């Protein structure tokens, strides 16, 4: 399956289901629903359809958006459709009564897959809201979206490597350490939730609202992804053991307080969080135990986890090598729930994350 075949297939399903519901509820039929890959005023048009009723025909240029639960998303779609010469139509999986009312208030015509609709043209007046039937296939795909470890690995890669958003699916899968077949599903979910412009050409992809996506990732990390990293805890007789640690070709990176100390130099690490490549975990832990006399302790301050990213963060004078990406360091500090880490986390966010370009 090509990079965008999955997306186009789901578009076709979404349009067909919505048009079927429209016909069932109102009698309005569709003559055609042709998927297109055209751009008008820099905005991609997903389809061209012709609605028919009472002997009249009404042409529309379509934007598809499976999940719409924010008025800001509707405003964004409205602006895109206003940029084209032809009348525009939003096709969505489901719009709540509140979202339907808002569409009418801003004159945004729409139909959804459960029969809700707002159509307002001379000779065509339809307004249906409050239909609550669900389309299980779209809802299931959405639930499999960002709330799973695989999606979180990919989102992390896109947030830390902004240029990766326009890379091939194969390159993204390699950098995120995920299966190739999951990339398209994850892109589709980001697009549904308003975090991605997901056009037909990979060069047109662009993340939207990256700061909000970062915040979501940080909240979800200790709940969804971190428990899957097979953490092992230890204690060392020398609390400063970490200062003498030399990677010597091992694929590892400091997170948490040690990384914060190296990035900000304003924290004495009481805990040490180390990310070690999965394929090197057994040998790496064995060497650490031997060299630094670590001993297993479920309450110990040393935590060794599987390194879940495959890309190499760019080392600069501000981000030395051997450090996890600042986004992960920030998430580690907040996940510790240690009040002394809160201020340092804030400093890392202000220095490394607030001005990140995506």
Q: Where in the chain is the domain with CATH 3.40.1350?
A: 5-128
Q: Is 264 helix (H, G, I), strand (E, B) or coil?
A: helix
Intervals of CATH 1.10.10.10 along the chain: 144-225
> Contacts from 29-33 at CB under 8 Å and sequence distance 24+?
29/53, 31/57
Residue with tokens 């110990």: 300
Signed CA dihedral, 349, 273, 151, 314: sign only: positive
Closest CA to 288 of 229, 236, 231: 236
Question: Quick one: pLDDT at residue 356?
Answer: 62
State the pLDDT at residue 78.
93
| 2-16 residue pLDDT tens | 444 434 555 777 788
| Percent of the chain at pLDDT exceeding 70 | 85
**CATH top-level class of 229-353:** alpha beta
pLDDT at 301: 95
Distance CA 349, CA 186 (A): 26
Which class in CATH covers the domain with range 144-225?
Answer: mainly alpha
Query: Which residue matches tokens 């529309």?
Result: 60
**pLDDT for 32:** 64
pLDDT mean values, one per 10 residues, the chain (358 residues) = 45 81 91 56 74 92 83 91 89 89 96 92 93 50 61 95 92 94 87 76 82 88 91 94 83 94 87 95 92 93 96 67 92 87 90 72
Per DSSP, the residues of 167-213 read: S-HHHHHHHHT--GGGHHHHHHHHHHTTSEE--SSGGG-EE--HHHH
Quick check: 325 and 161 in contact, CB under 8 A?
no
Q: By the 8 A CB rule, do 234 and 297 touch?
A: yes
Q: Give the pLDDT confidence score for residue 59 in this predicted structure.
A: 93
How far apart, in Å, are the Cα atoms of 338 and each of 6, 257, 310, 327? 43, 11, 29, 18
- With beta carbons less than 8 A apart as the criterion, state whether 92 and 66 touch: yes
**What span, in angstroms and rounded, lies between the C-alpha atoms of 104 and 92?**
15
Question: Using the 8-state DSSP alphabet, how is residue 3 labeled?
Answer: T
Q: How far apart are CA 193 and CA 67, in angstroms?
A: 6
Looking at residue 216, what is its pLDDT?
Answer: 85
Q: What is the CATH number of domain 5-128?
A: 3.40.1350
Q: How far apart are CA 281 and CA 304, in angstroms?
A: 9
Amino acid 5: pLDDT: 44
Q: What is the CB-side half-sphere exposure of residue 3 using CA atoms within 13 A?
A: 16
Helix ranges (H only) for the chain are 5-26, 71-82, 97-105, 136-143, 149-160, 169-176, 183-192, 210-220, 256-264, 281-292, 326-335, 339-348
Burial of 104 (0-12, 13-18, 19+ CB in 10 A): middle
pLDDT at residue 234, rounded to an integer: 96
pLDDT digits (tens, 9 = 90+) for 94-137: 888 999 999 999 999 999 988 999 999 999 999 999 887 544 34
Q: Write out the residue limits of the CATH 3.30.460.40 domain(s) in the chain.
A: 229-353
């Amino acid at each position: 399956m090509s990079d965008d075949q999955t997306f186009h297939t789901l578009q076709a399903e979404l349009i067909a289901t919505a048009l079927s519901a429209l016909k069932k509820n109102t009698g309005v039929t569709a003559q055609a629903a042709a998927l297109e890959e055209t751009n008008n005023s820099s905005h991609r048009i997903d389809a061209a359809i012709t609605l028919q009723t009472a002997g009249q025909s009404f042409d529309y240029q379509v934007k598809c958006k499976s999940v719409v639960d924010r008025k800001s998303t509707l405003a964004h779609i409205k602006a895109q459709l206003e940029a084209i010469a032809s009348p525009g139509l939003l096709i969505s999986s489901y719009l709540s009564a509140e979202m339907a009312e808002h569409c009418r208030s801003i004159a945004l015509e729409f139909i959804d897959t459960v029969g809700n609709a707002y159509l307002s043209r001379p000779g065509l007046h339809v307004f249906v809201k409050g239909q609550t039937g669900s389309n299980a296939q779209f809802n299931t795909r959405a639930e499999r979206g960002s709330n799973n470890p695989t999606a979180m690995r990919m989102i992390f890669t896109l947030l830390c490597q902004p240029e990766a958003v326009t890379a091939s699916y194969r390159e993204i899968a390699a950098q995120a350490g995920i299966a190739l077949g999951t990339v398209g599903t994850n892109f589709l979910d980001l697009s549904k939730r308003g975090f991605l412009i997901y056009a037909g050409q990979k060069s047109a992809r662009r993340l939207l609202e990256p700061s909000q996506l970062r915040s979501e990732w940080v909240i979800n990390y200790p709940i969804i992804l971190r428990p899957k990293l097979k953490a092992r805890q230890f204690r060392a007789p020398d609390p400063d053991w970490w200062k003498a640690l030399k990677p010597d070709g091992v694929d590892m990176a400091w997170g948490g307080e040690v990384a914060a100390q190296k990035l900000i130099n304003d924290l004495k690490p009481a805990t040490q969080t180390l990310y070690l490549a999965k394929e090197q975990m057994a040998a790496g832990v064995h060497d650490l135990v031997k060299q630094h006399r670590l001993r297993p302790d479920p309450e110990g301050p040393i935590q060794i986890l599987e390194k879940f990213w495959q890309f190499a963060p760019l080392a600069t004078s501000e981000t030395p090598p051997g450090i996890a990406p600042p986004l992960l360091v920030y998430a580690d500090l907040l996940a510790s729930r240690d009040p002394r880490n809160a201020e340092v986390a804030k400093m890392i966010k202000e220095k490394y994350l607030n001005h990140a370009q995506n």
